[in-house]
Structure 1
Amino acid sequence: MDPKTFYDVVIVGGGPAGLTAGLYLARARYRVVIVEQDHFGGQVTITHQVVNYPGVAQASGAELTETMRRQAQSFGAEFLLAQVTGLDLTGDVKTVRTTRGALSCFGVLWATGAHPRKVGFAGEAAFQGRGVAYCATCDGEFFTGKDVFVVGGGFAAAEEAVFLTKYARHVTILIRGADFSCAPSVAQAARAHERITVLPHTQVEGVEGDDALRLLRYRNTQTGQVTEYRPPAGETFGLFVFAGYEPATELLQGVADLDDQGYVLTDRGQRTSADGLYAAGDVCQKPLRQVVTAVGDGALAATELEKYAAAAQARTGLRPTPPEVLPPAPAEGAPPAEPGDALFPPEMLAQLQTVFRRMTGSLVLELTLDGTPLSRELEAYMQALCQLTDQLTFTTTGQDPEPPCVRVCRPDGSWTGLAFHGVPGGHEFTAFVLGLYNAAGPGQALDGATEQAIQALRAPVDLQILVSLSCTMCPDLVTAAQRLAAASGQVTAQAYDLNHFPALRDRYQVMSVPCLVVNHGQQVVFGKKSLPQLLDLLAP
């Protein structure tokens, strides 16, 4: 057992429940790591306004959960961006297998939440990314000036419909039931909006089109009347699905007791039927799924896991290394900050230094600039990053035809296959840093089957990943593509911020991100993908 990957508790899921549990456990001096495959903060990060969280008058979901993450990190909680692939709960020391290697622990907290549910109407899968979407924050801007339909009658449907009016010409909400099922105040905001129409007792039958949506067919379930909507000539439209969520419990099938809908069954202490496995948040069977209940679940599960881990330490004589508490922020009048501090806050600097210490080689960030404000922003960003470590240097060149661009190169000038067009900020910053770690070594761990699949790629593969910095699903695909490029000389992975490259959006008719373009249009697919899923897609 490697002491570097031995924890008291492994938390699977980085939403409010997982972040709260991490805070409580780390503050109690237990070593804990929070493993998240998409983005820390969970589904609430796409909520634009949280007004019912006690003690916080108003904040976005992203702001609220970022504060939670910083609190947990300040007490020494660790964070790992990876996908959990399996569990072994036998014995005192459990194993959590991830795409970045195995983790050992005494207890596991399952806080994976739930993901958007698909309705299953005709054409839903075929037109995902071509007009059918599931995230207004990620994809709303693609429908500027167009008509948009929203499927669903819950909180997400009502709130996201109002958000979509920032872009859409008009929004129509299609509710299968008689009325909204969310709080009256949220529903009223949608009903009262001058550019929103609400149609109750309405069910989508299907969508049709060519490279984009051209027809929507929906039926009134009371009268049976079928309506066909076609956009004005030469236009398309959007259909956003907010039909509830389903729990992320696939890996718990046969491991712990679940209800008929797949939610985890727990006792009053958040214990599941499996020894050492606890659950918290929206993944659990419960009457109310809100941030405040997820936080309560996480706190309760953490205090129970403290007792469980303490008993396991006493039985085995094993004690993971206690967490390292971050130093407090410098007081007023403290010495000047180190280079790069203006762009990177203290907790981010701590994470970056951890990555840099683990890198075994050096890299050169080769910038292609064109004199625009975006290029100046990219240059300042990369210069600040290079000031943090001797393992990174940067240079400028005029070679890339699509500036501004940063290409990750080796000291001898050869290209690693990784590049970002635009400025890798927002949700893409973590993916960019992981790309550096993968390119400089040792990189994210790969299992034997994945290594064999990578070696089986014999022909050159060019991957263009089209993203938005506000998208919470894009980093998963970017990270997988960059890991593949770092491991195989046959693969290149270039990410593009579509806000600055509209020609790519038009060329491939992109109406949802992330979008993966393989070999300049040979394949165009949408949605997040793990490394195994990407390899399946590219398999010869």
Structure 2
Amino acid sequence: MAKIYDAIIIGGGPAGLTSGIYGGRAKLNILIIEKDEIGGQISLTEEVANYPGIFKISGSQLIKNMREQAKNFGVDFIKEKVIKVDLLNKIKKITTEQGEYEGYNIIIASGLIHKELNFTGEREYRGKGISYCSICDGEFFADKDIFVVGAGYAACEEAIFLTRYGKKVHLIAREPEFTCAKTIGDKVFANNKIEVLFNSEVVEVSGDKLARKIKIKNNISGEIKEYSSINNENIGVFIFVGQKPKTEIYKDQIKLDEDGYILTDELMKTNIEKVFAVGDIRKKSLKQVVTAVADGAIAINQVEEVSDENPRIETSQVEEVKIIEEDKKLNLFSEDMIKNIKENLEKLSEKTEIILVKSSIEEENKNILEFINEFKQITDKVQFNILESDNEVIDKKLLERLPAFFLKKDNNIKIKYSIVPLGQELESFIDAIREIYGEKIEVRENLLNRIKKIDKKINVKIGVSLKCTRCSQTVKVNQIIVNNNENISLEIIDVVTHKNFKTKYDIVGVPAMVIDDKNLYFGQMSLEEMIEIIEKQ
């Protein structure tokens, strides 16, 4: 019998995680589903200084602490895209690209997405100079002109952050002054690398393969100026003009306001029994971390009050994960990473072999060998076979970027990792090992059939950065495709390390997918979106 959760939480930001923490502590069966990296928008915030009791913390660290707290209380996490919801029956059903999940209560905490401005060139140059994530893409514009669009807190904060990369940051605001706290605006004015253009808006971004020019209109005088870098360098344009709710899949079942926000009462209840909405996705006057966590606590309290009415399905207790001995000091892996590795790989029925082909330049092998040495201390389920670059085992055409891991099965190379899989890519690396050598991830039948029908050889290369919060999801969906069709091959490439790859394809944003060494696609992809791209080749 399939497990039925007391509550399924859609979204892993502060509101969703708080519901998870309170629910897990109350011994409820809780599942948190998040499309992107756990944390939502606040995980990209450099500094949180207004959370009660905490003087200063990064958004990513705050979320990491909350996630670890939820996991310690037994909350289940999955990273999948929700594509359909059925909320009208007693047992609610959530459908993702990989499967279906059932729960007695649903808490919607899926937050907001970035608004677009729809100026000429915005869509054409997305991933080619236009970005909505400074942490993911800022490093691609080192010593170049960067333009930040917006007048609020996010725009000001990101403009300050981007000064560590750009030679000049131009902040473009339609408003006559900043709309955020004066303290943040004062920081912008005090930074001599930032030029502020009030009463202005972007009318066009243009270029060739990359964005190189931007036209800005002064809304007072009507004058339009075109800006371009010296020597016709490419430019970066980062847009932070607000957000809108992710409510498209709920609109036929849940009451929304005219802007798409979910309507709730003070107990976070929607118009559907046992369906709640929390955080920024619901209509409310103040959208802050502190109000989000309050929403999450209130909603799960309502679930807890009626949880005894739910029939119980016994599930096996999660075995305690033993952390490695104190005398084995690990520099690369946090406690959370260690738990992730052990929980996933201990399920493998037998040892697996991963091939590492070293670079001929010994200095380039240092980091990846350190990774192996520490990884072996955590689990004995993986055996690393280390080969020199002139070894005949691997086809010569696969040795362009070294050092690299090769995951193979039945004498076929399935996936190549031209990267030290840390940061955001550790989870995708673990998933790849588990899927190839253990159990495959379940995929909806219609998508699985489309994958299996692809009948020609296709090579996919994905350029990623270890800082990118969007890359691992795209890597994971491609790994699912590869593991279900022998015609598809996959390489994951660190664009910071392998600069020749970045330069060859003019990559100025990640994830960047190169199909058959010719067709280039940018941005996070769902499984269905990636299948569609491959079908078109």
TM-score (norm 2): 0.93
Q: 8 Å contact 1:367–1:407 — kept in the other structure?
A: yes
Farther-moved stretch of structure 1 (372-381 vs 510-519): 372-381
Cα shift at 1:486: 1.1
- The alpha-carbon distance between structure 1 residues 447 and 339, as it changes in their structure 2 partners (threshold 3 A), is farther
1:165-213: per-residue Cα shift (whole Å, max 9, x none)? 1011111111111111111111111122111111111111111110112
Which residue of the partner structure matches residue 340 of structure 2? 351
Cα shift at 1:348: 3.4
Which residue of the partner structure matches residue 403 of structure 1? 402
Inter-partner Cα distance in structure 2 for 1:62 and 1:508: 31
> Which of the numbers 421, 445, 449 marks the counterpart of 1:452?
449
Farther-moved stretch of structure 1 (455-464 vs 387-396): 387-396
Inter-partner Cα distance in structure 2 for 1:459 and 1:165: 46
Which residue of the partner structure matches residue 124 of structure 1? 122
- SS in structure 2 at match of 1:419: strand
- SS in structure 2 at match of 1:534: helix
Which residue of the partner structure matches residue 378 of structure 1? 368
Inter-partner Cα distance in structure 2 for 1:181 and 1:321: 50
Cα shift at 1:380: 2.8
Cα shift at 1:142: 1.0
Which residue of the partner structure matches residue 493 of structure 2? 496
1:100 aligns with 2:98: yes
1:296 aligns with 2:294: yes
Inter-partner Cα distance in structure 2 for 1:325 and 1:274: 37
- The alpha-carbon distance between structure 1 residues 345 and 219, as it changes in their structure 2 partners (threshold 3 A), is closer
Which residue of the partner structure matches residue 159 of structure 1? 157
> Which of the numbers 334, 355, 358 marks the counterpart of 1:366?
355
- The alpha-carbon distance between structure 1 residues 481 and 341, as it changes in their structure 2 partners (threshold 3 A), is same
Cα shift at 1:325: 8.7
Q: 8 Å contact 2:341–2:379 — kept in the other structure?
A: no
Write the mapping of 1:109-120 to structure 2, written as runs, cut at 5 A.
Answer: 109-120=107-118
Write the mapping of 1:330-349 to structure 2, written as runs, cut at 5 A.
Answer: 336-337=325-326, 343-349=332-338
Cα shift at 1:343: 4.5
* Letter matched to residue 197 of structure 2: L
1:208-257: per-residue Cα shift (whole Å, max 9, x none)? 11011222111111211111112212412111111111111121111111
> Which of the numbers 177, 198, 222 marks the counterpart of 2:220?
222
Which residue of the partner structure matches residue 71 of structure 2? 73
* Letter matched to residue 446 of structure 2: A
Inter-partner Cα distance in structure 1 for 2:207 and 2:336: 47
> Which of the numbers 237, 240, 244 marks the counterpart of 2:238?
240
* Letter matched to residue 418 of structure 1: I
Inter-partner Cα distance in structure 2 for 1:320 and 1:308: 19
* Letter matched to residue 396 of structure 1: I
Inter-partner Cα distance in structure 2 for 1:350 and 1:235: 45
Cα shift at 1:372: 4.2
- The alpha-carbon distance between structure 1 residues 394 and 305, as it changes in their structure 2 partners (threshold 3 A), is same
> Which of the numbers 462, 465, 481 marks the counterpart of 2:462?
465
- SS in structure 2 at match of 1:443: coil
Inter-partner Cα distance in structure 2 for 1:140 and 1:351: 29
Which residue of the partner structure matches residue 312 of structure 2? 318
Count of equivalent residues: 526
Cα shift at 1:357: 4.4
Cα shift at 1:273: 1.1
- SS in structure 1 at match of 2:439: coil
1:477-497: per-residue Cα shift (whole Å, max 9, x none)? 111111111111011111111
Farther-moved stretch of structure 1 (375-384 vs 439-448): 375-384
Inter-partner Cα distance in structure 2 for 1:145 and 1:474: 24
Cα shift at 1:374: 4.8
Q: 8 Å contact 2:51–2:290 — kept in the other structure?
A: yes
1:535 aligns with 2:518: no
- The alpha-carbon distance between structure 1 residues 387 and 192, as it changes in their structure 2 partners (threshold 3 A), is closer
Inter-partner Cα distance in structure 1 for 2:102 and 2:42: 29
Cα shift at 1:346: 4.1
Inter-partner Cα distance in structure 2 for 1:325 and 1:57: 36
Which residue of the partner structure matches residue 46 of structure 1? 44
Q: 8 Å contact 1:276–1:308 — kept in the other structure?
A: no
> Which of the numbers 479, 485, 505 marks the counterpart of 1:508?
505
Inter-partner Cα distance in structure 2 for 1:283 and 1:178: 28
Inter-partner Cα distance in structure 2 for 1:252 and 1:323: 34
Cα shift at 1:157: 0.4
Cα shift at 1:387: 4.7
Cα shift at 1:131: 0.9
Cα shift at 1:48: 0.9
Q: Which runs of 5+ in 2 are unaligned?
A: none
> What is the Cα-based RMSD across aligned positions, in Å?
2.1
What is the percent sequence identity of the aligned residues? 31
Inter-partner Cα distance in structure 1 for 2:350 and 2:267: 47
Inter-partner Cα distance in structure 2 for 1:357 and 1:101: 23
* Letter matched to residue 34 of structure 1: I
> Which of the numbers 413, 418, 422 marks the counterpart of 1:421?
418
- SS in structure 1 at match of 2:231: coil
1:517 aligns with 2:514: yes
* Letter matched to residue 296 of structure 2: G
- SS in structure 2 at match of 1:24: helix
- The alpha-carbon distance between structure 1 residues 248 and 123, as it changes in their structure 2 partners (threshold 3 A), is same
- The alpha-carbon distance between structure 1 residues 372 and 81, as it changes in their structure 2 partners (threshold 3 A), is farther
- SS in structure 2 at match of 1:348: helix
Inter-partner Cα distance in structure 1 for 2:252 and 2:339: 39
- The alpha-carbon distance between structure 1 residues 267 and 536, as it changes in their structure 2 partners (threshold 3 A), is same
Q: 8 Å contact 1:11–1:109 — kept in the other structure?
A: yes
